[in-house]
Every structure is written in structure tokens, then in C-alpha cells.
């Protein structure tokens, strides 16, 4: 369908350490639980209110799964770009159909960036061929290394 877009952008904190699983095809998948919060002041009472939404993030990029496993821990602040999907599955105990809505990170139109808060030192990761960058020196070094390898 032309003219449609499925893009989700979130900034939040991990509510638990990432869960890494092996799929039937042997590849790894990472599952993250991401909390986003909004706060406001109640007009009638003046009391500060807060609402937290929980999002399921699923990472299929194998290189990115390895980085998630190595660098992300509960409390880490991240920025994700992905697609929202709802999948249907059958509950083994009741036999009933169940639905899960998730943000999927795979392919070149999605990314995950570690932000400076929480238990990590910051940096960005995009697609499966990227590595985390922890400081501006690392970033300039990475671009200098890349210039040396260009054959033309």
C-alpha cells in the first residue's frame, strides 16, 4: 500500500536485563522491556502525577543482539526506532489465541541507541554492522579507520 508508514520512536529505560533466546533456525533474538513515562501536575490538587507505559522490544539483528547482551542492563536508557507489530500465538495451557504487540528492530530502517543514563556509558548502535561508540575520540577514530580502507 503506497503512502503508509509503520515507524515507532521511543526513549525509555529498561525494566529488566535483556533476555536472549535461540530461535529454531539457530539465530539469536533479544527481548527488552522498555518503560516510558510521562508526568504532569494535577490541576485540582496540585499533586505531581506520573504514568508509565511498558513496551516489548524485539531485536532480530544478530550483531545487534550480541551488543545488547554485552552492554545493556536493567536501568539503561535507550532510544529505539522500529516497527510495531502484533503477533498471534496459542496459549498452551488454555488453548486460546493470544496477541502480543511488540516493537521490532530488524533491517536497515530500525536502530537502537544507548543513551548516557543508567548502567551504560552511552554510544550508538545501528543496524547489524555497527559498533558502540563511547566517546567522540572513538567516533573520529572509527571514521579515520574507514577512510583508510576505501580502495578509491
For the chain, the domains span 8-149
Q: How many CB atoms lie within 10 A of CB 72?
A: 24
Q: Which of 42, 38, 69, 68 is nearest to 51 (CA)?
A: 38
pLDDT at residue 62, rounded to an integer: 85
In angstroms, the CA 97 to CA 112 distance is 31
Residues 6+ apart with CB under 8 A from 68: 18, 20, 30, 32, 59, 112
Q: How many CB atoms lie within 10 A of CB 152?
A: 2
| Residues making up the chain, counted from first to last | 152
Positive or negative, the Cα torsion across 130, 131, 132, 135? negative
Decide if domain 8-149 falls under CATH 3.40.50.300: no
pLDDT at residue 128, rounded to an integer: 36
Q: Over its length of 152 residues, how does the chain's per-residue pLDDT go in tens digits?
A: 678 999 999 999 999 999 999 999 999 999 999 999 999 999 999 999 999 999 999 999 888 999 999 999 999 999 999 999 999 988 889 999 999 999 999 988 899 999 975 444 444 444 433 333 333 333 333 334 444 454 43
pTM of the model: 0.70
pLDDT at residue 1, rounded to an integer: 62
Amino acid at each position: 500500500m503506497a503512502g503508509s508508514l509503520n515507524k515507532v520512536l521511543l526513549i525509555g529505560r529498561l525494566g529488566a536485563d535483556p533476555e536472549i533466546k535461540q530461535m529454531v533456525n539457530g539465530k539469536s533474538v533479544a527481548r527488552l522491556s522498555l518503560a516510558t513515562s510521562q508526568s504532569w501536575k494535577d490541576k485540582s490538587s496540585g499533586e505531581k502525577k506520573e504514568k508509565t507505559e511498558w513496551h516489548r522490544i524485539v531485536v532480530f539483528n544478530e550483531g545487534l543482539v550480541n551488543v545488547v547482551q554485552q552492554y545493556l542492563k536493567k536501568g539503561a536508557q535507550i532510544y529505539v526506532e522500529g516497527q510495531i507489530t502484533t503477533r498471534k500465538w496459542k496459549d498452551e495451557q488454555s488453548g486460546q489465541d493470544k496477541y502480543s504487540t511488540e516493537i521490532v528492530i530488524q533491517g536497515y530502517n530500525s536502530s537502537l541507541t544507548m543513551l548516557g543514563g543508567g548502567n551504560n556509558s552511552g554510544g550508538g548502535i545501528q543496524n547489524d554492522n555497527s559498533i558502540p561508540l563511547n566517546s567522540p575520540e572513538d567516533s573520529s577514530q572509527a571514521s579515520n579507520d574507514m577512510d583508510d580502507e576505501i580502495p578509491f
